[in-house]
């Protein structure tokens, strides 16, 4: 599963270096991170209840993965 997650992240093409420390903590470009994600994504161009772009709001609030 760890390998699959790393491959999916690498496929996004933005060039982050992702590692998993010996204690199981993910690191993105050397910074500890908790990879939060979700399965049911908003449609492209969808708006959040605030009126902001849905993906911008998700990103700002720490969402790291979208399946």
List the domain boundaries for the chain. 1-34, 38-67
Please state the separation of Cα 50 from the chain's center in Å.
Answer: 21
| Per-residue model confidence as pLDDT tens digits over 12-48 | 556 788 899 999 888 989 988 877 777 788 898 999 9
Contacts of 39 (CB under 8 A, 6+ apart): 67
Sheet with 18-20, strands from edge to edge, namely 18-20, 26-28, 31-33
Whole-prediction pTM = 0.48
Could you tell me the pLDDT band of residue 49, with boundaries at 50, 70 and 90? very high
- Contact assessment for residue 41 and residue 66, using Cβ atoms and an 8 Å cutoff: yes
Q: What is the rounded CA–CA span in Å between residue 16 and residue 9? A: 8
């Amino acid at each position: 599963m760890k390998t699959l997650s790393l491959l999916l992240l690498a496929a996004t093409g933005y060039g982050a270096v992702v590692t998993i420390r010996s204690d199981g903590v993910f690191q993105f470009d050397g910074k500890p991170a908790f990879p939060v994600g979700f399965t049911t994504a908003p449609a492209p161009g969808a708006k959040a209840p605030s009126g902001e772009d849905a993906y911008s709001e998700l990103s700002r609030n720490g969402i790291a993965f979208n399946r």
